[in-house]
Amino acid sequence: MELLSGADMLIRSLQDEGIEYIYGYPGGAALHIYDALFRQDKVKHILVRHEQAAVHMADGYARASGKPGTVLVTSGPGATNTITGIATAFMDSIPMVVLCGQVASTLIGEDAFQETDMIGVSRPVVKHNMSVRHPSEIPEVIRKAYYIAATGRPGPVVVDIPKDMTTPNERYEYSFPKKVKLRSYNPAVRGHSGQIRKAAEMMLAAKRPIIYAGGGVVLGKASDQLTELAHLLGHPVTTTLMGIGCFPASDKQSLGWLGMHGSYESNMAMHHSDLILAVGARFDDRVTNATEKFCPGARIIHIDIDPASISKTVEADVPIVGPVDTVLKEMVSLVKETKEKPDKDALKAWWKQIDEWRAFHGMRYEKSDEYIKPQEVVEALCRITDGKAFVTTDVGQHQMFTAQYYKFDKPNRWINSGGLGTMGFGLPAAMGVKLSYPDDDVICVTGEGSIQMNIQELSTCNQYNLPVKVVNLNNQALGMVKQWQDMNYESRHSQSYMESLPDFIKLAEAYGHVGIRIDRKEDLEPKLREAFAMKDKLVFLDIYVDPHEHVYPMQVARGSMKDMWLSKTERV
Partner 1 sequence: MRRIISVLLENEPGALSRVVGLFSQRNYNIETLTVAPTEDETLSRLTVTTTGSDRVIEQITKQLNKLIEVVKLVDLTEGSHIERELMLIKLKASGSQRAEIKRTVDIFRGQIVDVTSTVYTVQLAGDSDKLDAFIQAVGETGVLEVVRSGVSGIARGEKVLSI
414: CB partners within 8 A, 6+ apart:
244, 245, 391, 403, 406, 408
Strand partners, 539: 469, 514
CB of 145 to partner 1, least distance (A): 11
Active site residue 113: yes
- Strand pairing class (442-447; 390-393): parallel
Contact 33, 166 (CB under 8 A): yes
Q: Which stretch binds partner 1 (CB under 8 A): 107-115, 308-316, 323-331, 533-541?
A: 308-316
Q: Which of residues 184-213 bind partner 1 (CB under 8 A)?
A: 184-185
DSSP state of 554: E
* Binds partner 1 by CB under 8 A, chosen from 3, 182, 189, 510: 182
Distances from the Cα of 473 to the Cα of 78, 243, 439, 549, angstroms: 31, 24, 25, 11
Which strands sit side by side in the sheet containing 156-162, from one edge to the other? Answer: 44-47, 21-24, 69-73, 96-102, 156-162, 128-131
Active site residue 114: yes
Q: Which of residues 49-108 bind partner 1 (CB under 8 A)?
A: none
Q: Which stretch binds partner 1 (CB under 8 A): 93-101, 125-133, 188-196, 369-377?
A: 125-133
Q: Closest Cα to residue 249, out of 377, 362, 329?
A: 362
Within 10 Å of residue 488's Cβ, how many Cβ atoms?
Answer: 10
CB of 14 to partner 1, least distance (A): 21
Contact 132, 163 (CB under 8 A): no
Catalytic residue among 57, 118, 127, 163: 163
Active site residue 367: no
Segments of 6-155 assigned E as strands? 21-24, 44-47, 69-73, 96-102, 128-131
Question: Using CA atoms, how far apart are residues 262 and 264, in angstroms rounded to an integer?
Answer: 7
CB of 120 to partner 1, least distance (A): 7
CB of 226 to partner 1, least distance (A): 25
* Binds partner 1 by CB under 8 A, chosen from 311, 326, 456, 567: 311
Q: Which stretch binds partner 1 (CB under 8 A): 300-308, 459-467, 531-539, 541-549?
A: 300-308
Q: Closest Cα to residue 196, out of 171, 218, 229, 224?
A: 229
Catalytic residue among 268, 363, 431, 480: 480
Give the phi and the psi of residue 178 in degrees, each rounded to 5.
-75, -40
Question: Using CA atoms, how far apart are residues 34 and 174, in angstroms rounded to an integer?
Answer: 19
Catalytic residue among 15, 20, 114, 198: 114
Segments of 354-398 assigned E as strands? 390-393
Q: Closest Cα to residue 116, out of 165, 146, 82?
A: 82
Contact 283, 553 (CB under 8 A): no
CB of 317 to partner 1, least distance (A): 15
Amino acid of residue 528: L
Active site residue 181: no
* Binds partner 1 by CB under 8 A, chosen from 183, 252, 339, 341: 183
CB of 282 to partner 1, least distance (A): 13
CB of 185 to partner 1, least distance (A): 5
Q: Burial of 241 by CB count in 10 Å (0-12 exposed, 13-18 middle, 19+ buried)?
A: buried
Within 10 Å of residue 191's Cβ, how many Cβ atoms?
Answer: 23
Active site residue 163: yes
In this complex, which beta carbon is closest to partner 1, that of residue 168 or of residue 307?
307
In this complex, which beta carbon is closest to partner 1, that of residue 318 or of residue 372?
318
Q: Burial of 209 by CB count in 10 Å (0-12 exposed, 13-18 middle, 19+ buried)?
A: buried
In this complex, which beta carbon is closest to partner 1, that of residue 185 or of residue 489?
185
* Binds partner 1 by CB under 8 A, chosen from 1, 39, 41, 120: 120
Question: Using CA atoms, how far apart are residues 62 and 436, in angstroms rounded to an integer?
Answer: 9
Contact 392, 433 (CB under 8 A): yes
In this complex, which beta carbon is closest to partner 1, that of residue 188 or of residue 255?
188
In this complex, which beta carbon is closest to partner 1, that of residue 117 or of residue 356?
117
CB of 109 to partner 1, least distance (A): 12
Question: Using CA atoms, how far apart are residues 32 and 168, in angstroms rounded to an integer?
Answer: 7
Q: Which stretch binds partner 1 (CB under 8 A): 41-49, 176-184, 229-237, 377-385?
A: 176-184
Q: Which of residues 127-146 bind partner 1 (CB under 8 A)?
A: 127-128, 131
Side-chain-facing half-sphere of 219: CA atoms under 13 Å: 30
Q: Which of residues 148-167 bind partner 1 (CB under 8 A)?
A: 148
* Binds partner 1 by CB under 8 A, chosen from 192, 286, 312, 410: 312
* Binds partner 1 by CB under 8 A, chosen from 137, 306, 523, 530: 306
Q: Which stretch binds partner 1 (CB under 8 A): 72-80, 107-115, 255-263, 306-314?
A: 306-314
Contact 447, 475 (CB under 8 A): yes
* Binds partner 1 by CB under 8 A, chosen from 39, 41, 110, 124: 124
Q: Which stretch binds partner 1 (CB under 8 A): 35-43, 118-126, 220-228, 543-551?
A: 118-126
109 touching partner 1, by CB under 8 A: no
In this complex, which beta carbon is closest to partner 1, that of residue 305 or of residue 471?
305
Catalytic residue among 9, 17, 51, 564: 51
CB of 60 to partner 1, least distance (A): 26
Q: Where on the chain is the footprint of partner 1 (CB under 8 A)?
A: 119-120, 123-124, 127-128, 131, 148, 182-185, 306-308, 311-312
Annotated active-site positions, please? 51, 113-114, 163, 480
